């Protein structure tokens, strides 16, 4: 009878359930991966629609049919994407370019996703394959039915290994030739244990490996590390058609994390969306300057946040870093302007650089 079970037994029962759940998660992840593998038969050949990567960054528009993706592309770029009041107006991938703060951002208008896209319904596989190559995903949602759409889309993307607004788990994992499984952790683990880690590894036929947990991760996150093909990307949830809902509802949606509310029909809040997009892309503009001349503010070098002087050299010419003597930098990354710096100096947004060769 459950009332007569001592406390220690209850702990055992709970622990056993957790192991069982962890194992089931590993099996599920494994079988799901096998399901999603495209069939080898030649008849299953479909026409993909990958678009050549251009510009400084790539943004993919994902959403259900008729949420306003094509209208948004037409408003933001000079590309006209056909928009109509029926579903599946867009049947292929249409690229456009947003020019913002000196950067060219490629915006991809993808066909609408339907439930079961991960299994290949409605060209869902091609849509998701293109989304995996983007730097940021904009999830377009209909404000009148946003919650349901958001949950369904997150589930579809999660099942194909796209992790939205999450960072890579801080776990060191390295398969070895022999020596069994060596397990260590630098923090107290509350969700995983050595036994569970071994069971999950055995499920993947891994019997020799080195595992080091540097943060308290769940079994799901550990499975992501083993599989190794997960994509971690920032995502902006954009609620369109806010002119059709109440002010209270708009306020509630706008306060949700990673969310922006807009109306393409009435052109509301599009400038704020661009600002947020720039923030999520984490780009920096660097301007160059020749000796004795004014900086060239017309042609910026666009780099990722955290770029060093060496990155700037490689972007200008691949041999420049080897001939580099020093650089003079004006801007917020320096203590005084101009400051003489080396290759390892970290650049910030709108810095000006003058490179002196040997």
| 85: confidence class by pLDDT, cuts 50, 70, 90 | very low
Residue 262 has pLDDT above 80, yes or no: yes
Count CA atoms closer than 13 A to 316's CA, side-chain side.
21
Q: What is the mean pLDDT of the chain?
A: 78
Q: Which fold has domain 284-357?
A: Ubiquitin-like (UB roll) (3.10.20)
Report pLDDT for 50.
62
Is the pLDDT confidence value at 236 over 60? yes
At residue 115, the pLDDT reads 57
Please state the rounded mean pLDDT for residues 177-206: 83
Structure confidence at residue 35 (pLDDT): 60
* pLDDT value for 43: 42
Q: Residue 238's pLDDT band (boundaries 50, 70, 90)? A: confident
pLDDT digits (tens, 9 = 90+) for 65-80: 777 777 877 787 776 6
Q: What pLDDT is attached to residue 41?
A: 45
9 — alpha (psi -120 to 50), left (phi > 0) or beta?
alpha
Determine the Cα–Cα distance for residues 142 and 166; give it in Å rounded to an integer.
Answer: 24
Confidence of residue 196 (pLDDT cuts 50, 70, 90): confident
Average the pLDDT over each of 33-37, 172-176, 340-344 and give the range with the smallest value. 33-37
**Residue 15 pLDDT level (bands cut at 50, 70, 90):** low
The tokens describing 21, both together, are: 């759940």
CB 33 within 8 A of CB 226: no
Least confident range of 141-150, 305-314, 321-330: 141-150
pLDDT confidence tier of residue 295, bands split at 50, 70 and 90? confident
For residue 97, is pLDDT > 70? yes
What six digits make up the tokens of 217? Answer: 């991760």
Over residues 133-165, the pLDDT tens digits come to 888 888 888 888 767 888 888 887 887 778 888
Q: Mean pLDDT across the stretch 200-215? A: 86
Residue 6 is encoded by which pair of tokens? Answer: 């001592």
Residue of higher predicted confidence among 340 and 63 = 340
Domain positions in the chain: 10-36+169-227, 42-166+231-281, 284-357
pLDDT at 38 over 60: no
87, pLDDT greater than 60: no
Residue 10 predicted with pLDDT over 50? no
SS (H, E, C) the chain: CHHHCCHHHHHHHHHHHHHHHHHHHHHHHHHHHHHHCCCCCHHHCCCCCCCCCCCCEEEEEEECCCCCHHHHHHHHCCCCCCCCCCCCCCCCCEEEEEEECCEEEEEEECCCCCCCHHHCHHHHHHHHHHHHCCCEEEEEEEHHHHHHHHHHHHHHHHHCCEEECCCCCCEEEEECCCCCEEEEECCCCCCCCHHHHHHHHHHCCCCCEEEEECCCCCHHHHHHHHHCCCEEECEEEEEECHHHCCHHHHHHHHCCCCEEECECCCCECHHHHHHHHHHHHCEEEEEECCCCCCCEEEEEEEEECCCEHHHHHHHHCCCCHHHEEEEEEECCCCCCCCEEECCCCECCCCEEEEEEEC
For the domain covering 42-166+231-281, report its CATH number: 3.40.50.300
């Amino acid at each position: 009878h459950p009332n007569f079970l001592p406390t220690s037994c209850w702990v055992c029962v709970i622990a056993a359930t957790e192991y069982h759940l962890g194992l089931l998660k590993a099996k599920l992840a494994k079988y799901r991966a096998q399901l999603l593998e495209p069939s080898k038969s030649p008849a299953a050949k479909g026409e993909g629609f990958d678009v050549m990567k251009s510009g400084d960054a790539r943004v993919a528009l994902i959403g259900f049919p008729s949420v306003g993706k094509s209208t948004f592309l037409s408003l933001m770029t000079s590309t006209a994407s056909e928009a109509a009041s029926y579903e599946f107006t867009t049947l292929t991938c249409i690229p456009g370019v947003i020019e913002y703060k000196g950067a060219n951002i490629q915006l991809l208008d993808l066909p609408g996703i339907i439930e079961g896209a991960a299994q290949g319904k409605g060209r869902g596989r091609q849509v998701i394959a293109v989304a995996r190559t983007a730097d940021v995903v904009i999830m377009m949602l209909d404000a009148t039915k946003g919650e349901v759409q958001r949950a369904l889309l997150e589930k579809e993307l999660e099942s194909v290994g796209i992790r939205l607004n999450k960072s890579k788990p801080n776990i060191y994992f390295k398969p070895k030739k022999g020596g069994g499984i060596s397990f260590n952790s630098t923090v107290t683990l509350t969700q995983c244990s050595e036994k569970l880690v071994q069971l999950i590894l055995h499920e993947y036929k891994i019997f020799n490996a080195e595992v080091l947990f540097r943060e308290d991760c769940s079994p799901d996150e550990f499975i992501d590390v083993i599989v190794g093909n997960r994509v971690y990307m920032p995502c902006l949830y954009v609620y369109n058609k806010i002119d059709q809902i109440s002010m209270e509802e708009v306020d509630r949606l706008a306060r949700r994390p990673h969310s922006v509310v807009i109306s393409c029909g009435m052109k509301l809040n599009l400038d704020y969306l661009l600002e947020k997009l720039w923030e999520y892309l984490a780009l920096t503009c660097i301007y160059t300057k020749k000796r004795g001349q004014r900086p060239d503010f017309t042609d910026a070098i666009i780099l990722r946040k955290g770029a060093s002087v060496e990155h700037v050299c490689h972007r200008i010419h691949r041999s420049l870093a080897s001939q580099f003597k020093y650089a003079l930098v004006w801007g917020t990354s320096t203590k005084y302007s101009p400051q003489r710096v080396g290759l390892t100096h970290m650049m910030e947004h709108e810095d000006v650089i003058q490179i002196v060769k040997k």
